[in-house]
Structure 1
Amino acid sequence: MTSHTNTMGPPHVDAVRAVAVAFAMPEETFARVFDPGDVAALHAASTVRVLADQPLDLDAGGADAACLAEVEVLVTGWGTPVLDPARLDRMPRLRAVVHSAGSLRPVVDDAVWQRGIAITSSATANAVPVAEFTVAVIVLAAKRALGAADALRRAGGAPVDVEESWPTVGMYGITVGVVGASRVGRAVIERLRGYDVRVVLSDPTVGEAEAARLGVALMELGELCAVSDVVSLHAPLLPETVGMLDRTAIERMRPGATLVNTARGALVDQDALADRLDRGDLTAVLDVTEPELLPAGARLRSTPNTFITPHIAGSLGNELRRLAGNAVREALAFSATGAFTDPIAFERAVIQA
């Protein structure tokens, strides 16, 4: 950070009411997500006092430390160091955290909840491109588009009979199994209402009444795998969900089914998945794996009907503007009212990743 001088816009008329706002994230993240217009929008608000136009270093001394002592609303992002007790002690006036990314776990320590600091994130905004990507993949998977393109390359000019190759082809009347009623899972369910498909849900935190409101049939994971033409994973990564799609669940998936994972790679027993894919009667579209960058010799790199993308479902490129806009709106809302429009409670942060 090079300067703490407010050079954008006139001084605030009511400096007493202005809430001190600052950013804390790597410079690279800040440059990717926020543009000058976002900072200008904060400067333009009479209820905000921007402490610095560039991110603060949470562990630095000097001018950064002086700003940290004043900050009331901290805007964080990808790469922000965890807000542990030692760092929180450097921000005695901190009242709120606006996380401009999705998952809070890399940033929010238990101490943040314990101190009663208000929290919000851009997880709902980040869910939009993930849900869009997921539904697009479901459509392509149902039409066997990825496999057909691969077969066409291998055919060397010979015709490709897609209907001959798979038990089902097309979206009409298929069953889509959604695993996890997270923000993304709910957004996928909402978007699938425009298709002639049946949607079933597996989520131990959802009851029958809520499932009815979502318009889905509720069932346990094994049953969902047995009845679904597409299984799409949207559960949070918790100790109890690691490997939740285990060998038994994978074996229950019907021949010709497709697994879509835009959540976390560790939700899946990848050895069991590779064994099933080697049989050639299952398709996997994986935007995430465990580890995220698979080693060169990993089985999933060579199993049939396996399509791996490099974690592109979440916000990228121009989609980052949605995250920045959400963070700015929430910072302005808190400065004006003392509350977020979309606050996050501890239980929601754990369950709805």
Structure 2
Amino acid sequence: MTDSLFRPPAALAMSQEAAAAVLDPESLAALAAVCDLAPLPALDDLTTARAREVLAGVDLLVTGWGCPPLDAEVLAAAPRLRAVVHTAGTVRGHITEACWERGIEVSSAAAANAVPVAEYALAMILLTGKQVLERARALRSTGVRDRLPRIPRTIGNHRRTVGILSASLTGRRVIELLRPHDVGILLHDPYVTDADAAELGVTKVGLRELFARSDTVSVHTPLLPATRGLVSRPLIEAMRPGAVLINTARGAVVDQDALTDAARSGRIRAVLDVTDPEVLPSEHPLWACDNVLITPHLAGSQGNEWRRLAEHAVAETARWASGTGFLHPVRRERLTYSA
């Protein structure tokens, strides 16, 4: 984009850590080429004199992790603000009712951030299907490989049944990544029609059936009032012996006490990239379960994957400046059932 085209006055609003991680010098230069970017540092406190001075002149905010809420008071200080480009997933933490009431256009990088989460889920589905972690641990402790007659026929990914809880952006990406593999895919999502399921190439089932029939259940539902504790004790108890629960969504979607009981009994296995709370206390019994892998909320964008988020911000800013409109808009009416 050349300087002859409209370059909207813009500013970064996020924590200093987020700005440094997501927007390296090359990304900042690319962003500055499509908007008139206010000088750094990013705004991490929107009540300061500097913040109010910057806000008074911006048409667009590029936000990220740690952005303060854009409430009525902030918007009063930003009379020209018409658009927000978010460099992460959910916008619930900073986009307020005041933003929607003003008609501010919002874009989110949720689709970009879904890519590494889905890759993590796929990797864990396949690794747990082969019981890689348990068998590696056994090899380390015994120094003996499994003999062929002793390998159970339950091990492996041939015609394994994978249940996807929610056809969110990440859930749909996981379904796409699973297509080349010889697995059956079940889906539960109350907002997906039979026609949608057929197009996705999955079998739509009820919630309990998903847990009862799946060898692996991968949780991708957003945390909403209606989904808190959705993965309940009865659902966990319905899972097959040896089945795997993978959670890359939010810890509070799962009844953690029920999961702990099932894992400690050895009845099911789990891969948890999220817990409630994060991080679990050191004395929590899940840490002692060899059949549970807990990772530090790393499935989302990390390291070089941050460049994808930055590229999203540049592309969306350029589209908005050209009058084309956002490719990945956030709709107010969809927030009742999306992240």
| Divergent runs of 4+, >3 A | 60-64, 158-167
Tell me the equivalent position of 2:43.
56
Which amino acid in the other structure matches residue 262 of structure 2? R
> Is the Cα contact below 8 Å between 1:22 and 1:71 reproduced in 2?
yes
1:40 and 2:29 correspond? yes
Deviates further, 56-65 or 262-271: 56-65
Q: How does 1:243-282 map to 2 (within 5 A)?
A: 243-282=229-268
TM-score norm. by structure 2 comes to 0.94
- 1 or 2 for the larger relative contact order (CA 8 Å, sep ≥6)? 2
Tell me the equivalent position of 2:292.
306
Tell me the equivalent position of 2:71.
84
Tell me the equivalent position of 2:111.
124
Instruction: Give the secondary structure class of the aligned counterpart of 1:70.
Output: coil
Which amino acid in the other structure matches residue 25 of structure 1? M
Q: For 1:288 and 1:252, how far apart are their aligned partners in 2?
A: 22
For residues 184 and 162 of structure 1, do their structure 2 counterparts lie closer, same or farther at Cα, with a shift above 3 Å needed?
farther
Q: For 1:18 and 1:118, how far apart are their aligned partners in 2?
A: 17
Q: How does 1:22-171 map to 2 (within 5 A)?
A: 22-45=11-34, 48-155=35-142, 157-160=143-146, 164=150, 168-171=154-157
Which amino acid in the other structure matches residue 239 of structure 1? P
Instruction: Give the secondary structure class of the aligned counterpart of 2:56.
Output: helix
Q: For 1:148 and 1:128, how far apart are their aligned partners in 2?
A: 28
Q: For 1:111 and 1:13, how far apart are their aligned partners in 2?
A: 33
1:229-277, CA deviations, whole angstroms, 9 ceiling, x for partnerless residues?
Answer: 1000000001111111111001110112111111111111111111111
> Is the Cα contact below 8 Å between 2:157 and 2:183 reproduced in 1?
yes
Instruction: Give the secondary structure class of the aligned counterpart of 2:95.
Output: coil
> Is the Cα contact below 8 Å between 1:181 and 1:352 reproduced in 2?
no
> Is the Cα contact below 8 Å between 2:31 and 2:313 reproduced in 1?
no
Q: For 1:101 and 1:163, how far apart are their aligned partners in 2?
A: 49
> Identity of paired residues, percent?
48
Which amino acid in the other structure matches residue 250 of structure 2? R
Q: For 2:92 and 2:131, how far apart are their aligned partners in 1?
A: 36
Query: RMSD across aligned C-alpha pairs, in angstroms?
Result: 1.9
1:48-67, CA deviations, whole angstroms, 9 ceiling, x for partnerless residues?
Answer: 32232431355344443222
Q: For 1:57 and 1:318, how far apart are their aligned partners in 2?
A: 23
Tell me the equivalent position of 2:167.
181
For residues 226 and 54 of structure 1, do their structure 2 counterparts lie closer, same or farther at Cα, with a shift above 3 Å needed?
same
1:284-321, CA deviations, whole angstroms, 9 ceiling, x for partnerless residues?
Answer: 11111100100111121113411111111000111101
Instruction: Give the secondary structure class of the aligned counterpart of 1:285.
Output: strand
Q: For 1:321 and 1:350, how far apart are their aligned partners in 2?
A: 29
Equivalenced residues, count: 338
Tell me the equivalent position of 1:227.
213
Q: CA deviation at 1:279?
A: 2.2
> Is the Cα contact below 8 Å between 2:244 and 2:270 reproduced in 1?
yes
Q: For 1:196 and 1:176, how far apart are their aligned partners in 2?
A: 11
> Is the Cα contact below 8 Å between 1:58 and 1:65 reproduced in 2?
no
Deviates further, 259-268 or 31-40: 31-40
* Gap regions ≥5 residues in structure 1: 1-9
> Is the Cα contact below 8 Å between 1:58 and 1:68 reproduced in 2?
no
Which amino acid in the other structure matches residue 14 of structure 2? M
Q: CA deviation at 1:278?
A: 2.1
Tell me the equivalent position of 1:293.
279
Q: How does 1:206-225 map to 2 (within 5 A)?
A: 206-225=192-211
Which amino acid in the other structure matches residue 228 of structure 1? S
For residues 298 and 65 of structure 1, do their structure 2 counterparts lie closer, same or farther at Cα, with a shift above 3 Å needed?
same
* Gap regions ≥5 residues in structure 2: none
Which amino acid in the other structure matches residue 260 of structure 2? A
1:108-156, CA deviations, whole angstroms, 9 ceiling, x for partnerless residues?
Answer: 112111211000111100000000010001000001101111222333x
Q: For 1:236 and 1:219, how far apart are their aligned partners in 2?
A: 19
Q: For 2:105 and 2:149, how far apart are their aligned partners in 1?
A: 54
> Is the Cα contact below 8 Å between 1:179 and 1:201 reproduced in 2?
yes
